[in-house]
Amino acid sequence: MSDMDSPMTPKEKELHKFIMIEKQKAQINAQIHGFNDICWEKCIGKPGKKLDRNTEACLKNCVDRFIDTSLLIAQRFTQMVQKRDAHNK
């Protein structure tokens, strides 16, 4: 069994790289699962024979606006924490 502190063999390096990539893919998939949940609720009433133009637009907007919301919240939260830190010094 290899010592965790020693440098990786080429075989281990390859596997490590693969795992990192799969981990990223899994995170993206998890996001998509999340979006599907939220945007289905926002945009799909009763499923029809196909997705009409309005529904498609709703779904696209839903994903983009949700991302915008997340970015804005991250920004505000960061500012808030910085302000609080500065105040407490």
Partner 1 sequence: MADVSNEEIMSQMKQQMALANAQGQLSKMTGKCFKACIAQPGTSLNASEQRCISQCVDRFMDVWDLVARTYGNRLQREEELEKPYEKTGMF
- Using CB under 8 A as the criterion, which residues of the chain lie in contact with partner 1 when the complex forms? 11, 14-15, 18-19, 22, 25-26, 28-29, 31-33, 35-37, 39-40, 43-51, 56, 59-60, 63-64, 66-67, 70-71, 73-74
Q: How far is the CB of 84 from partner 1 (least distance, A)?
A: 18
What are the distances in angstroms from CA 48 to CA 18, 45, 52, 63?
A: 40, 9, 9, 21
- Please tell me the number of Cα atoms within 13 Å of 12 on its side-chain side: 9
Question: Closer CB to partner 1, residue 47 or residue 89?
Answer: 47
